[in-house]
Amino acid sequence: MVKIVPCVGFALTLLCIGVDRPAFSADAPAPRTLKELIAKAKSAPNHTITLALEESSPEVIRAKEKGFQERFGFPVRLESERGHHRDVPVKIIELAKTGRGVVDLWEGGTPLILRTFRAGNTRRPPWTVIYEGWPLAKKARSDVPKIGGAPDGSVLGDTCMLQRNHQLVACI
């Protein structure tokens, strides 16, 4: 997901991830505005985001971290999950059975994410807040195929948005 996302959208997605980790936000209400989201993410105990970044150079990763800090006033650390991004869905499903997460955010094509989605290992970001800071996300969500099958009855567009030919997924 990360390499092709415009900087604003990428940064907002990282904000949502930092706030929406299950261990951090299980009892807390979801942020309703971009200002609340930024404040909540800033106060989070962990600002490390795990992604599949095997194709990103260290310079690109550091530039994204720097851009995030300049925009939102606090740092994040991007770390890469080992292996190829195509292996991540299998890792997500297998480790979710043990209650462990693998990545916070993943980029991949629909066939790769369907098993993860249908296994209930994706989550719904606070879309209204994302739209406030990145209106293009509404269009990106509308382009996601209307595919169902999640345990909670949701459709793929509830947890993903289409960016070029890949979807952005927030994972457990």
The helix/strand/coil state of 139 is helix
What one-character DSSP code corresponds to residue 122?
B
- Helix/strand/coil for 29: coil
CA distance 39 to 19: 9
Report d(CA 8, CA 13) in Å as an integer: 9
Could you say which of 3.40.190, 2.60.120, 1.10.10, 3.30.379 is the CATH number of the domain covering 2-170? Answer: 3.40.190
List, for residues 72-83, the tens digit of each pLDDT value: 899 999 998 887
In the chain, what percentage of residues exceed pLDDT 90?
Answer: 14
Q: If DSSP codes are grouped into helix, strand and coil, which group holds residue 74?
A: coil
Does the structure show a pLDDT above 50 at 20? Answer: no
Residues 6+ apart with CB under 8 A from 108: 1, 85, 86, 88, 89, 166, 167, 169
For 50-98, the pLDDT digits (tens) are 888 888 889 999 998 999 899 889 999 999 888 777 788 788 888 888 8
Model's pTM, two decimal places?
0.72
Helix (H, G, I), strand (E, B) or coil at 95: helix
For 99-135, write each residue's pLDDT tens digit: 887 777 777 777 777 888 888 888 888 889 989 988 8
Q: Quick one: which of 167, 143, 134, 163 has its CA closest to 13? A: 134
Domain boundaries, the chain: 2-170
Nearest to 41 by CA among 64, 66, 10, 14: 14
